[in-house]
Structure 1
């Protein structure tokens, strides 16, 4: 993560010991509480920049699966990726060596790496790289995770000192430990997400749904939640939980789940029980993901007008998470081919949604759906099925 200040003419002073302690303690508190990787990278870059009074500071991470180094320049922007051996940062990581350069344009020792890295970037941006430091950092097993890169000292001398190297080495050591913790947390969360997707697929596969159905419903639900103004955290929670909306189908007999024709009234009553089975499977968990999934499983067949099931509740009495998943689920079911029907054309689905605004669906949610339609269609294309699906939700 890179932080930039472009006014190199404004000279600054090195931090005195009291200021240095303030910077370290301020950032240590923020970093200790941060669990979002992008935010953590930004905090670490800012900490390094302030500690050594540099113009730019970038935290690079090593992706060993792709043999690349990557970072981001700011929130919301695409990440930057380079080969793991490219430029001065690639050299430092490859050879496990800290690098200290006074002037990138006159340095001969690392000329090849500078030409492929900093000097090449200068040509593209018009920026002037002078002083430069790169320091690798490691995880608790001693494996290199990435590197700090600092460019251009903002003090009168415009050169980094041995003390700066010491401070940035300290920051790098702290970075490795903090990043390892967050990356482990991210790995656990990704594992949880995958398990939830797989659990959702169990319910769907018993009625011969495809795995992509639960993925599409999850992504649609996420978009709709954001469109309604829910927080990023709430929307992400729904995206993780919604794949289990039909987990209760594990308790429904195959003869009913996979019946190609119309269900009898008695069969339909049994089918409706999948909402209660799913709810009862999940409701006693203290985990936020599973508690959210319990709500979704219970209420995704309720209707705004009170004619849904299992409880026949209406309007705002239906949890917003159930209302969102209901719309996402119906949209995907109608647009998918089944053993007893062809996939509906998009125009037919959209016309139905207009008719069901305030009937089956929350009217505000239908409005958000149409606002998000281009993104929803993009997701439908991205996660399209490679084979025909046989049976939709009953």
Structure 2
């Protein structure tokens, strides 16, 4: 994706127009790729590539409206990074405002041209075709824009405009569903993180504990060879590991001294409570969070709780979160203890390799230690920072 287009030429290296058969193949190939994508950035890139290849343009951009900021933006633009423009400016702003497509032969001869982007990038815009597109309810949500025709005539034609309209009609429907899915997932992430903070705040845990555990877990997951998607899933759910603490009595949760055996049994119930809170959800995200809440206190040698699972009976996400949680807990000041020095923490992980912790994860922990320390420093709690 985002590579220079490979156009059929006329035998002399000059790009030529697409045949109807080639156009169909481009549309089928790209729509198949787009249907399998979940990331808005990836979908925008594929759509930009599709428009560019269909009409033999040098560049193509898919613009969206940010109504909160009253701006037009693109996350993907051939030859440039994210671009933002005031809503209503430039060819794309005028096209979206009027709902009309534009076919421009000479950009600099038209007062609607917004030359600042050219000045910033050094690129020279000549011919332009812009097509607004709407969502399912008919509301315009963005626009396709292609720049500079590569065939010898160097000008876009009414045929190009019709072809880009076809791409735009598909883009509107597809992008709306991707945007909605991303909004839902973003909301889920925010809710999960907030719930995790609520669980920690009841026990006066450090303010950034859940954030650090989330980041540590993702780094360890990637170090173990898990996919970026799995690492992101673990980053999202690991903040919920102690949500069950909401049900633990203050007399136990906030006790400054050592817990009695009876009190420790009460404390251990937070894993069961967290699991029961989350397990009945129909969302895969929360079901995964339930596993982490339930198993992050299990130990590799089977001496953990609540079920005494051992080795790979413990879900990998639970084993990863256990390392992340203990690393952060030991390095943070709590109501019942002072923060440990780094060397003392590392000594414990060496000692507990193959006992408390999965030995493979401990090995990755040491391999990724610089990244973990960088995260710890980046999200250091104010109280700890002030005391050092």
Q: Are the equivalent residues in 1 in contact too, given 2:213–2:325 (CA < 8 A)?
A: yes
Asked if 1:154 corresponds to 2:150, the answer is yes
| 2:78 maps to 1:71 | no
**Cα shift readout 1:84-117 (whole Å, capped 9, x = no counterpart):** 366544554566554433344xx32248623x22
Distance 2:342 2:81 in 1: 35
* TM-score, structure 2 as length reference: 0.86
Superposed CA deviations along residues 212-265 of structure 1, whole A, max 9, x for unmatched, are 322221221112111111122222222222122112223322211111110011
Alignment of 1:1-394 (within 5 A): 4-5=4-5, 10-66=13-69, 67-72=71-76, 79-84=81-86, 88-90=91-93, 92-93=95-96, 98-104=101-107, 107-110=108-111, 113-114=114-115, 116-118=116-118, 120-121=120-121, 123=122, 129-387=125-383
C-alpha distance in 2, partners of 1:128/1:5? 19
* Rounded Cα–Cα distance in structure 1 between residues aligned with 2:373 and 2:132: 43
Are the aligned partners of 2:63 and 2:143 in contact in 1 as well (CA < 8 Å)? yes
Unaligned runs of 5+ in 2: none
**Secondary structure at the residue paired with 1:147?**
strand
Q: Tell me if structure 2 keeps the 8 A contact 1:88–1:110.
A: no
Q: In 1, distance between residues paired with 2:248 and 2:182?
A: 35
Q: Return the offset for 1:63.
A: 2.7
Q: Secondary structure at the match of 1:72?
A: coil
Specify whether residues 90 and 351 from structure 1 end up closer, same or farther in structure 2 by C-alpha distance, changes over 3 A only. Answer: farther
**How many aligned residue pairs are there?**
380
Give the unaligned 5+ runs of structure 1: 390-394
Alpha-carbon distance in structure 1 between the residues aligned to 2:4 and 2:19: 23
After superposing the two structures, state which structure 1 stretch, 19-28 or 255-264, moved more.
19-28
CA distance in 2, matches of 1:198, 1:111: 46
* Residue pair 2:91, 2:112 contacting (<8 A) in 1 also: no
TM-score, structure 1 normalization = 0.85
Any conservation in 2 of the 1:245–1:297 contact (CA below 8 Å)? Answer: yes
CA distance in 2, matches of 1:375, 1:357: 20
- SS of the residue 1:174 aligns to: helix
Q: Provide closer, same or farther for how the CA distance between residues 251 and 261 of structure 1 changes in structure 2, counting only shifts above 3 A.
A: same
Whether contact under 8 Å (2:258, 2:336) holds in the other structure is no
The answer to whether the 8 Å contact 2:130/2:146 transfers is yes
SS in 1 for 2:114: helix
Equivalent-residue separation in structure 2 for 1:378 and 1:94 (angstroms): 46
CA distance in 2 between partners of 1:262 and 1:120 (Å): 63
SS of structure 1 residue aligned to 2:82: strand
For residues 14 and 260 of structure 1, the distance between their equivalents in structure 2, rounded to whole angstroms, comes to 77
Q: Aligned equivalents of 2:92 and 2:118: distance in 1?
A: 10
Cα deviation, 1:303-326, whole Å, max 9, x if unaligned, reads: 223332223332222221111000
Distance in 1, Cα, partners of 2:383 & 2:72 = 35
Q: Secondary structure at the match of 2:147?
A: strand
Distance 1:100 1:191 in 2: 39
Distance in 2 (CA, whole Å) between partners of 1:376 and 1:95 is: 51
Residue pair 2:131, 2:145 contacting (<8 A) in 1 also? yes
Distance (whole Å) between structure 1 residues aligned to residue 177 and residue 230 of structure 2: 23
